[in-house]
Structure 1
Amino acid sequence: MKTFDLKPQLFDTLKSYNKKNFMSDLMAGIIVGIVALPLAIAFGIASGVTPEKGIITAIVAGFLVSLLGGSKVQIGGPTGAFIVIIYGIIQKYGIEGLTIATIMAGVFLILFGLLKLGTIIKYIPYPIVVGFTSGIAVTIFTTQIKDLFGLTIDTVPSDFVEKWICYIQHFSTADLWCSLVGVVSVIIIAITPKFSKKIPGSLVAIIVMTIAALLLKQYAGITSIETIGDRFNVSNAIPDVQVPVMTWETIKSLVAPAMTIAVLGAIESLLSATVADGVIGDHHNSNTELVAQGVANLASPLFGGIPATGAIARTMTNINNGGRTPIAGIIHAVVLLLIFLFFMPLAKYIPMACLAGVLVIVSYGMCGWRSFVALMKNPKSDVTVLLITFFLTIIFDLTVAIEVGLIIACLLFMKRMSETTDVKVIMDEINEESDISKGNIEHLTIPEGVEVYEINGPYFFGAGNKFEEIMASFGDRPKVRIIRMRKVPFVDSTGIHNLTNLCEMSKNEGITIVLSGVSEKVHAQLQKARFYDILGEENICSHINLALERAKEIVSGK
């Protein structure tokens, strides 16, 4: 039996680490740190917190995810997926509520890892993942319209539809210079990869637009371009560790948003790690990764940070620039720390419209419109799940979307599992394949007064009703019912309950039940449930031939 291993990947990679590995990780770490800077600032502001909180999250979470994680190349930090959740929690519960919810999410993630749920979470249906990812992308794009065009609006409504109505009503207040900065930023980010794969377009846009805004203000008297410094007091001081006051009432009220953070963080981090595995030809330890994500989300809020997870874009940047061990992720966190300490005050000159442009590109990358369109050609059940999750995300919020999405996923799983189990009636003769390789087929005749049923697949709640419906369709009452279970891999409590009811009802009607071909696993489950006290050991047969012989004895009255 395989032992439960939670050892971080860092420990294994250090055994054969050398100077060549370090130089590759150093270059990758520096580049990823530079790429992460504008994103961390943008994600922090869009989430409703100060820009330095975004960077602190990238430093703390990025360091811990690489130090303790189950992937060699995963880069942790704030991501666009959390923007909607964080903003909603702050609006409803305040900053302290967000801190507590993030700590709780960290605990949930650690429990996910310890309970070995890493592999299970990866099997959440693809339409649900695409649905809420696309919904998040649309929501992020919607939240950036005001800053992108410099609209003059006192209070932007929180509701999606009301927000767009408000934008349309106030679009006449758009500022020409803010709009120009925003649009040019989007263009710069979009075209930079065509000229350089190493330099991030978001960083180029921020540098160019910040200089442009300063020159316009200095020499052209243009003061309408709002910057980070106009809205926030930017600080480079490392915050003290603060543990929030947690009451039972507060914890109860934050269970739902905390679980949403945990589930979304688990999905995104494991998806990112899986994508990375495919590129570098490696296999991550999903449970170790979840524990690391949990520790990161426990630590980040204590320093004033926000929720974090594995970031696909930064992870791919790390791989593409030579990063192959967790050392690259640790270096990325150190680079961000140095930038925070020595260059953070310069962030106050960055135009808000430029950051909005960065997030517009992020939302476009997240939307996955090609996957969305492709899924629309799938079966109606998948399309329904996709659209429900998508519209719930943009019209209500991500908490509702994930809760309903997971319920739909469970219902779909139950439906499809029930469809895998087939119950059929065998009439007159049984074609028993005794030696398939030689083409020998034995024909077994079913005696008069005997009915034979065969269950193919798991016998659980979905199959029980199907079985009862088939038996009810026969008018004649046999003396013996043989149930072939050779292709039943497992039976659950509902299946055992249905079998028990069937035996008791049949007994009252003078009908004997005989089971044939019960596997050792199913046999043990039935025995543990004391099912054989009702049926009798003599009516359990290992093979159909023996079951038919037993049926003949019962019919003849021997």
Structure 2
Amino acid sequence: MREVIARIRSFLPAANDYRGLRRSWRADLVAGLTVGIVALPLALAFGVSSGAGAGAGLITAIVAGVVAAVFGGSNLQVSGPTGAMVVVLAPIIAHQGIGALAPVCILAGGILVVAGTARLGRVVALIPWPVIEGFTLGIAVIIFLQQVPTVVGVAPGGSSNAAVAAVEAMTRIDSSTAIWTIGIAVSVAAIMLVAPRIHRHLPGSILAVVVVTAAAVLLQAPVARIGVVPSALPAPALPSVDPSSLPTLLGAAATVAALAGIESLLSARVASTLSTAGDYLPDRELLGQGLASIASGLFGGMPATGAIARTAVNARSGARTRMAAIVHSLVLLVIVYAASTVVSVIPLAVLAGVLMVTAVTMIPVPAIRAIFRSSRADALVFTVTALVTVSVDLIYAVLIGFAIAALFALRNLAGSGGVHREVLEGPVRAGDERIAVFRIEGALFFGTAEKVVQTINDVHDISVVILRLSRMQLLDSTGAHTLAELVRDLERRGVTVLVKGVRPEHLPLTTRLGVVTALRHPNHLFDDLPAAVAHARSHVVATSLAKPASAS
């Protein structure tokens, strides 16, 4: 009962979440204000790019940002709409309509809650580094390509593939409009790139939005704008769902939940490396992100994830507790109530420019160089993951990248194991040629078991085989079963098998799968090699004496 209570408490908010707030509240306040300013254009841009609208992006950053900060597992995580989620969400909204947004959001949140309570948070640690970086590069490319239609001033085409849609948009350019939209996007990019060089704390994105929007309004630029933005948070409401559409919605929700879980845990892990306050609980983080998406869906927002860029800004701005992420959401809430009219006149091309620069900064250039210097296998995994992300699907990309990485890992593991015949130590005695000592080392699993059996079976004219297992690091059920079959086969051929040095962690499996019972006698299990060799020699002597007697 105590364990159950302790487990429940591990998922609940606690005073320890705000440890040291009395000393760090000023730093948390400044960090929250900084992240809020950085998050505003991104929240608007991701909302528009997904097809849900700028208002949905703001609602997500506000509602999900607070809920994830309070219930999540990271002290520094900042949650809200992200580029990766836009990549998944845009096709869902395009194919199923805006009415699918809230149900998918709530269902995905429920899946994450179940995953968190089932303690699946550590699964993300199994994703190989080249897969993560390939995934990140693919997302960056998609986000960039998604902005091409807006930048050239045309409506998005019918294709859900960002690359195809970008090419289609380039064939439909109207020069009278494109000169304005391209000029706006280029101006935004220039300001965002120059601002940090003037002062590293200068918020380039918000500065670009303000300056370029003001210029567009003064010049009366004939470009599309954000339009109506909510001047207050809507009341929460349960969406109506057609039962016949549930299978389709569940499939989309599962994809959204998988992406949200992966991105949130990766972001929390990044935060843990940026600050001593960045420790996180992965299972609680999944639960918190699930609750955040449910709350966002009830208020008309989008699915939320941990945002790596905003989390990094939060950590580098000196945040120490969850209060910084809460302040970030409050800053955006004030903007909704006080400046929704101003926000509505922002040109869509401004947000497209912000996202294009964001996409370029997402490209992990140092990591790519390191991967291509490490090995061909890592380079292949990275490249395939990135290409599948852009051309097919994000979740498929992770699964395929993981599968390829696993195959290379198994190949390396199989290469690290093997079987070697050893020479008997000490002075040579008569009959030693009829004793074969085999040392099995490394891994004996489904990838190496058959090779080991073939090597041992190729040896003939022997009376005793000693199997040394003390250097065998890994043993699976296939390896243990094959080992038992080998012992039985040798015993049927009249070869006595002695086993030396079964490791304690392997003894239960070898016993259950019959390796020990396959031996001719229980005493044929040894802990010491000299004792095993002495027994083998005595057996050879006894066998040689028995043959003349039987012949006479």
Structure-1-length-normalised TM-score = 0.87
Matching of residue 148 in structure 1 with residue 143 in structure 2: no
CA distance in 2, matches of 1:81, 1:102: 15
CA distance in 2, matches of 1:524, 1:243: 54
Deviation at 1:97, TM superposition (A): 4.1
Equivalence for 1:166: 168
Q: Structure 1 residue runs of 4+, over 6 Å off?
A: 2-5, 442-446
Equivalence for 1:465: 450
Matching of residue 77 in structure 1 with residue 80 in structure 2: yes
Deviation at 1:351, TM superposition (A): 0.4
Query: Which deviates more from structure 2 when the two are superposed, residues 339-348 or residues 77-86?
Result: 339-348
Equivalence for 1:122: 125
Matching of residue 527 in structure 1 with residue 523 in structure 2: no
Q: Residue type of the partner of 1:463?
A: T
Query: Which deviates more from structure 2 when the two are superposed, residues 178-187 or residues 66-75?
Result: 66-75
Q: Residue type of the partner of 1:466?
A: K
CA distance in 2, matches of 1:455, 1:105: 48
Aligned-partner SS, 2:440: strand
Tell me how many residue pairs correspond in the alignment: 534
Aligned in 2, Cα 1:68/1:164: closer, same or farther, shift over 3 Å? closer
Q: What is the aligned counterpart of 2:353 among 353, 357, 361?
A: 357
Deviation at 1:183, TM superposition (A): 0.7
Q: Residue type of the partner of 1:369?
A: V
Deviation at 1:353, TM superposition (A): 0.7
Q: What is the aligned counterpart of 1:511 among 495, 502, 521?
A: 495
Aligned-partner SS, 2:419: strand
Query: Which deviates more from structure 2 when the two are superposed, residues 162-171 or residues 85-94?
Result: 162-171
Q: Residue type of the partner of 1:227?
A: R
The CA deviation string for residues 104-160 of structure 1, in whole angstroms up to 9 with x for no partner, is 44344344444444344123122211212111111111111121132x357353335
5 Å matches for 1:416-495?
A: 416-420=412-416, 422-430=417-425, 447-472=432-457, 474-495=458-479
Aligned-partner SS, 1:319: helix
Contact 1:122 1:267 in 2 (8 A): no
Aligned-partner SS, 1:242: coil
CA distance in 2, matches of 1:257, 1:537: 58
Contact 1:149 1:182 in 2 (8 A): no
Q: Gaps (5+ residues) in structure 1?
A: 431-441
Deviation at 1:277, TM superposition (A): 2.3
CA distance in 1, matches of 2:179, 2:362: 28
The CA deviation string for residues 169-217 of structure 1, in whole angstroms up to 9 with x for no partner, is 2245352122211110111111111223334211111111221121112
Aligned-partner SS, 2:469: strand
Deviation at 1:251, TM superposition (A): 5.2
Contact 1:9 1:71 in 2 (8 A): no
Matching of residue 38 in structure 1 with residue 41 in structure 2: yes
Aligned in 2, Cα 1:101/1:529: closer, same or farther, shift over 3 Å? farther
Contact 2:143 2:356 in 1 (8 A): yes
Q: What is the aligned counterpart of 1:28 among 15, 20, 31?
A: 31
Contact 1:489 1:521 in 2 (8 A): no
Deviation at 1:391, TM superposition (A): 1.4
Equivalence for 2:263: 268
Q: CA RMSD in A?
A: 2.8
Matching of residue 61 in structure 1 with residue 64 in structure 2: yes
Aligned in 2, Cα 1:181/1:484: closer, same or farther, shift over 3 Å? same
The CA deviation string for residues 253-276 of structure 1, in whole angstroms up to 9 with x for no partner, is 456544443343333223322332
Equivalence for 1:189: 192
Equivalence for 2:547: none
Aligned in 2, Cα 1:157/1:443: closer, same or farther, shift over 3 Å? farther
CA distance in 2, matches of 1:503, 1:257: 52
Matching of residue 341 in structure 1 with residue 337 in structure 2: yes
Equivalence for 1:375: 371
Deviation at 1:543, TM superposition (A): 1.9
CA distance in 1, matches of 2:511, 2:245: 47
Deviation at 1:55, TM superposition (A): 1.3
Aligned in 2, Cα 1:233/1:325: closer, same or farther, shift over 3 Å? closer
The CA deviation string for residues 463-492 of structure 1, in whole angstroms up to 9 with x for no partner, is 2122123224x2514222222111224422
Q: What is the aligned counterpart of 1:386 among 375, 382, 389?
A: 382
Aligned sequence identity (%)? 32
Deviation at 1:349, TM superposition (A): 0.2
Query: Which deviates more from structure 2 when the two are superposed, residues 360-369 or residues 168-177?
Result: 168-177
Contact 1:8 1:70 in 2 (8 A): no
Structure-2-length-normalised TM-score = 0.88
CA distance in 2, matches of 1:60, 1:178: 32
Matching of residue 279 in structure 1 with residue 279 in structure 2: no
Equivalence for 1:433: none
Equivalence for 1:408: 404
